[in-house]
């Protein structure tokens, strides 16, 4: 792995942890299920992407889809939580 790929994995890890932290905070305030499920999906997709990249799967084929999955989880969580009538 090159240093650029390691930097990209580090950035993906930080982004997933940050997004999961925001979702967990939202879950603690509202006590609704969608943010907690989204936080788990974001952490799992990030961990799987990093593990696959470290084991030798090409970096570019893993990080892009993992980022898209994480973003979709956050967006779906926000949409479901907003549609449920919670403040």
Q: What is the pLDDT of residues 3-29, one digit of tens each?
A: 888 888 888 899 999 999 998 998 888
Instruction: Compute the distance between CA of residue 63 and CA of residue 56 in angstroms, rounded to an integer.
Output: 13
Q: Is residue 11 part of a domain?
A: no
Q: Is residue 13 part of a domain?
A: no
Which tens digit of pLDDT belongs to each residue from 72-84?
988 988 888 776 6
Q: Which residue has the tokens 């932290």?
A: 21
Structural domains of the chain, count: 1
Q: Is residue 49 part of a domain?
A: yes
Q: Is residue 6 part of a domain?
A: no
Q: Is residue 4 part of a domain?
A: no
Closest CA to 16 of 77, 73, 80, 61: 73
Q: DSSP alpha helices (H): ranges in the chain?
A: 3-30, 33-55, 59-83
Q: Which domain holds residue 39?
A: 19-83
Q: What is the pTM of this model?
A: 0.83
């Amino acid at each position: 792995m090159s240093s650029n790929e390691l930097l990209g994995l580090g950035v993906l890890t930080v982004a997933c942890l940050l997004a999961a932290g925001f979702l967990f905070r939202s879950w603690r305030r509202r006590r609704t299920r969608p943010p907690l499920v989204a936080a788990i999906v974001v952490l799992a997709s990030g961990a799987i992407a990093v593990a696959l990249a470290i084991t030798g799967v090409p970096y570019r084929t893993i990080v892009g889809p993992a980022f898209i999955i994480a973003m979709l989880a956050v967006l779906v969580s926000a949409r479901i939580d907003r549609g449920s009538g919670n403040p």
